[in-house]
Amino acid sequence: MAPPVDHVDGHVPETAISPAALPCLEVLAKRADFLRAAQARRQGTQSFLLQARRRKSDEPGGGTIRVGFTCSKKVGNAVARNRAKRRLREAARLTLPLHGRPGWDYVLVGRRDDTANRDFQLLLGDLVRALGQVHGKDR
């Protein structure tokens, strides 16, 4: 459930979007999906690595955006990995409905120190730029 949106000067801010207007985000869970994404397009940023793959038309979930998150043990202990993945999940929740494309799988791979410690607004900007780079190759 989305938190309530505060009205600013009597109107809703531009960044506030009704949850009903957002395309459905599904979470990747199967190893095969992660492996297929790893073989597709990649875009590195200072905060993380983005892997993106357009699903074929015969694959299930054609009109949804699917996203997965991973951090290796190089990122740190379980606490550090979980913190990095929480930040990536929140960035994806805020960014992918606006900048992602239905029918695509995205995997965000955390980086040591940078994912957990980078300013959150910069992390969001990194994700928007990475999506633009990945999708810019389509045009």
Of 61 and 75, the structure prediction assigns the larger pLDDT to 75
pTM strictly above 0.85:
no
Domain encompassing residue 93: 23-136
| Any domain includes 10 | no
Query: pLDDT confidence of 56, banded at 50, 70, 90?
Result: confident
Total structural domains in the chain?
1
Of 55 and 6, the structure prediction assigns the larger pLDDT to 55
| Any domain includes 1 | no
C-alpha distances in angstroms, 27 versus 21, 104, 106, 131, 136? 19, 12, 9, 17, 24
| Any domain includes 5 | no
Query: What is the pLDDT at residue 1?
Result: 47
Q: What is the CATH number of the domain that holds 38?
A: 3.30.230.10
Among 22, 42, 38, CA closest to 30: 38
Query: pLDDT confidence of 41, banded at 50, 70, 90?
Result: very high
